[in-house]
Amino acid sequence: MADTRPHEPAEVDSRKAMAQRYLEKARAELAAKDAERPVRRQREPVSDKPVTLGDLRPRLSGSTYIHLLLLVPVITLSGLAILWCYVLLNFDVLVGRVIALPTGILLYVAFSYASAYYLGLIESTSRGETNPDEALRGDWRDWFWHLPSTVGMIAAAAGIGYLLSLPFPNARWDVIGITTLLLYPIMQLSCLETGSPLSPLSLPILTTLGTRPLMWVSIYGLSFVAVLFLSTVAKSAWRDPPYFTVIVMGPLIIIALLIYGLLFGTAARWLSLKGR
């Protein structure tokens, strides 16, 4: 008996084959992305044993130093570019505007790179091994989205300091600086704890002010020493125009970034080992 069922045209078969190939390609790309995705490590269980310095000592990978050396010229050149753009804007507005565009692109790359590196330091150190490669993996244009979790916390702390300084116009910068130093560590750790820059204050982190006073004394002590050192060097190296000052301060700022990343990462690791 002859088959009387209608046959599909060859064009329909070719479309089905093409759709099948696209589907298989999409599945392969998803599988490759899943394979490249870093395995999320489970938080270490809270222990009743005392935390030793060996438990908190960060183990720095080679990439930590490589990115550190790369960031020094990037940040220094960015500072020089800002200064040069400012001078040109005062000299000739038209020329300054022409230079402003590439300067803005350089700042975008530099601050995104530094922010991703800094956040990678904190997150990896909190797990016991300092390796910022995880935060720097992938498309470099995605580094921009680390800025709200880093620079955004500094800006938020400075903004609160500005509001508090309004009744004290003669001491405005002093109030802003002290407020930023006091609030920024809390906001940065809170942002890491909540996983969102929209939640810069976390109740579990705030409670550690009373439950872990030694940790906060260490954080604030090192913060004030670092700021005092940087401000002293900046005043000593000040020249007008401050090209020499920028060259001197660029490497020191990157070293301070490394120290702060290790400091906050170690604090987060301490809390993960001993609880809040």
pLDDT tens digits for range 81-137: 888 888 887 777 777 777 788 888 888 888 889 988 998 888 888 877 787 877 777
The alpha carbons of the chain give a radius of gyration, in whole angstroms, of 25
Contact yes or no for 233/252 (Cβ under 8 A)? yes
The rounded distance, in Å, linking the Cα atoms of 156 and 147 is 12
CA distances from 30 to 23, 25, 33, 35, 139 (A): 11, 9, 5, 9, 16
For residue 208, the surrounding DSSP H or E stretch is helix 203-211
3 phi, psi to nearest 5 deg: -80, 115
pTM: 0.71
The three-class DSSP label of residue 1 is coil
User: Residue for token digits 């020089």?
Assistant: 80
The rounded distance, in Å, linking the Cα atoms of 191 and 213 is 20
- As a 3-state breakdown, the chain gives helix, strand, coil percent values, each rounded to 5, of 80, 0, 20
pLDDT tens for the chain, 276 residues long, are 555 555 555 555 566 666 676 667 767 766 665 554 444 444 444 444 444 445 556 677 788 888 889 999 999 999 898 888 888 877 777 777 777 888 888 888 888 899 889 988 888 888 777 878 777 777 777 788 888 888 889 999 999 999 999 988 888 889 999 999 999 999 988 888 888 888 888 888 888 888 888 888 888 998 899 889 999 999 998 888 888 999 999 999 999 988 888 888 888 877 766 555
Q: What is the DSSP secondary structure assignment for residue 9, as one 8-state letter?
A: P
The rounded distance, in Å, linking the Cα atoms of 258 and 254 is 6
The three-class DSSP label of residue 244 is helix
| Residues contacting residue 219 through CB under 8 Å, at least 6 positions apart | 185, 263, 264, 267
The rounded distance, in Å, linking the Cα atoms of 238 and 232 is 10
For residue 60, the surrounding DSSP H or E stretch is strand 59-60
